[in-house]
Structures are given as structure tokens and as C-alpha cells.
Structure 1
Amino acid sequence: MERILVSACLMGRRVRYDGGAKTSSDERLAAWLREGRLVPFCPEVAGGLAIPRPAAEIEGGAGGAAVLAGAARVMAADGSDVTAEFLAGARAALAAARACGARLAVLKEGSPSCGALAIYDGTFTGRRAPGQGVTTALLEGDGIRVFTEDHVDAAAAYLRTLET
């Protein structure tokens, strides 16, 4: 059975920066959870960040690949540099995916860790920019396909190709 890495906040775990969750009501995620496919994971908590914690964004909206390459940092709203924690969390997410054989992930859009299509632009003004979070960039670079919580249909289609 294919395993799927999933953002823990989508499964109702209160791991977000504000201490909340972003529980998904998608029935396929619920079904996959019942089947034992899902591996809930929060890279930010795994990387050592507290709950709650200051919001964080990638400077300049540069994206996760730039952070992985050392060309950008992840900064918290309080001015602290949390790049090391985001990198540690991304590496832990990749290790978790490899350990369970996951070849796909469903992650929280917009997050500086998990965003797959868009992230916040680094200004802490609520503006988004196209790009990936640090964890998504690392997973995709290792061949693990990442989908957002709004694209579970596409994730399900990809899952079917993996299981044929």
C-alpha cells in the first residue's frame, strides 16, 4: 500500500505557528487515514520550533530552493532567523517519507515549509508569491510529488498511477 506524507495541521493537529490546525474536510484524506496510508508530519515542529511561534516567511519570497541553496533565509516576524530549523524540519520530512516509502505528499499551501504553488512574499503583509516552501522543494528534488490540500483530486490520480 502506498503511503502518503501529509501536513499534520491538515489532520487536525494543532501544530501551526498560531497554535491552531487547518483541518481538512476532504473525504479522500479521511479515507486514506482510515486505510492507514497517511503519515502526518509537521516539519516546523520536527525542526525544533515551538507551538505557538512567530509567523515565518522566506525573505524576498525567494522560495524553498533558494533556502536549500543558501541564497535566502527564513525569517520570523520577530526578526529572528529560523532558517536552520526549517532546513532541519525539511530533512526530517524527507527522512520520514523515505522511511515509509512515500512517493507523494499532500501539504498545506502557503506555508514557508509546505507551500507547493505559492508562499508568502517575505513582507509579512499577507501577499503571496509563486513558489515552494523549503520542505516541498526538498521533497520534490528527491522525486516525491507534492500536492496541496486543494488538489487532492490530482493526488488521487497520481496515487492510482503508482498503484497500477
Structure 2
Amino acid sequence: MVSKILVSACLMGHAVRYDGRAKPLAHTAIERWMQEGLIVTICPEMSAGMPVPRPPAEIGDAADGEDVLAGTARVVELTGGDVTEEFLRAAENAVRLAVDSGCRYALLIDGSPSCGSGFIYDGSFSGNRRAGNGVTAAALKRAGIEVFSDREIDRLIQRIGSNSAAAGSLSGGR
């Protein structure tokens, strides 16, 4: 049996991003996983009570989600508001949901200070990217959940395929 997959709600078409928009990911695998009941959807920030829309936030001080989890970095909004506690609660909620739902994998939107797993923004609010994990991505990885960015869906399909003979039907293209 294929394990469940935690998926960022914005990738599923829900308008939950900080700017009130979605970033739907159209892929035949997503459609199949939905039909098979394998997708567990979450917006970590909304699960922590953050509103939509909300000011953009970034992890400061050239840090990443691991640093936030360690208590050595903060998540700050463009307006200067410190939302570190909300992002920590969001990560905790996502880990709990993933574990309770039997998710071995997570497919998250990249770039987010919460869900970013390939890159995050550098904390300057200038659009500069750098390698790193958001707070939720880092927490999920710590919990043993394999995290993939939206740009890595084909790699996720291969990974699931290497863990289950039933996953062969998931190899459809975009």
C-alpha cells in the first residue's frame, strides 16, 4: 500500500498563501493520489490561526527553519512583526497531522518560510533566494517524513514507486 502524502493546501488550489492566492500544481499523479485517498492537505500557517491575507514573512539573519526550531532565529513579517511562535505552532501542527494520518512523504510549496525545502528567501524582503528549509519542512524532516518541493514531484513519484509495486500506476506525466 502506498503511504499517504501531506500536501501544501496552496498546491491543491486553496487560496491560503500570504497574498490570498493559490499555486495549484496540475499533475496526473496529484489527481490519482486524490482519487486513491492518499492526499492529506494542510496550510501550516492557517492551522496556527494566521489570517489570509497576511504580511509576507521571512526567516531573518541568513538562517533557516532548523535555526528557528533551535531557537536561534526568528520569523519576521515585512511589517516587523515577529511571527516565530505562529510558525513553530504551524510546524508542530503539520508534524502531528502527518504522523496521525500515516504520511511518509510531504509535497510542499518551495520558497515559503514554512514549507520551503529547496530554497527560502534570505530575510531581506528583496526577492533574493538561498538554499534552505522552512520551519515546517525542517520539522517534518526531523520527524522522519521525506519532504519534496513542488518542483520535485517527479522525484516523489519515483520514490513512492521504489517503495511500492502499486505505485507503478502513478508514473503518469503532466
Using the size of structure 2 for normalisation, the TM-score is 0.92
Aligned-partner SS, 2:82: coil
Q: Which ranges of structure 1 fall in alignment gaps of 5 or more residues? A: none
Question: Which residue number in structure 2 is paired with residue 76 of structure 1?
Answer: 77
CA distance in 2 between counterparts of 1:15 and 1:67 reads: 22
User: 5 Å matches for 1:74-153?
Assistant: 74-153=75-154
Matched residue, 1:11: 12
1:88 is aligned with what amino acid?
A: R
SS of equivalent residue, structure 1 residue 36: coil
| Aligned-partner Cα distance in 2 for 1:86–1:65 | 12
Instruction: Give the C-alpha shift of residue 162 in structure 1.
Output: 2.9
Gap change, CA 1:61 and 1:31, over 3 Å in 2? farther
The alpha carbon displacement at 1:61 in A equals: 3.3
RMSD: 0.9
In the alignment, residue 75 of structure 1 is paired with which amino acid?
Answer: V
Tell me the percent identity.
Answer: 48
Task: Please state whether the residue corresponding to 2:55 is helix, strand or coil.
Answer: coil
Following superposition, the deviation at residue 34 of structure 1 comes to 1.7
The answer for the alignment partner of 2:52 in structure 1 is: 51
2:61 alignment partner, SS class: helix
- CA deviation string 1:11-37 (max 9, x = no partner): 000100011000111221122112111
Structure 2 portions without partners, runs of 5+ = 166-174
In the alignment of these two chains, the number of paired residues is 164
Alignment partner of 1:80: what SS? Answer: coil
- Classify the secondary structure of the residue corresponding to 2:154: helix
Deviation of 1:161 after TM superposition, in Å, equals 2.8
- Taking the aligned partners of 1:153 and 1:51, their CA distance within structure 2 comes to 30
Give the distance between the partners of 1:91 and 1:155, measured in 2 at CA. 23
| Aligned pairs (5 A) from 1:6-45 | 6-45=7-46
User: 1:83-126 deviations in whole A, cap 9, x for unaligned?
Assistant: 00000000000000001110100000000000001000000000
Comparing 67-76 with 148-157, which one deviates more in the overlay?
Answer: 148-157
> Based on CA coordinates, which of the two structures has the bigger radius of gyration?
2
Q: Deviations over 1:49-88 (max 9, x none)?
A: 1000000000023100000000000000110000000000
TM superposition shift of 1:163: 2.4
CA-to-aligned-CA distance 1:125-162 (integer Å, 9 cap, x gap)? 00001100000000001110000111111111111233
CA distance in 2, matches of 1:90, 1:106: 14
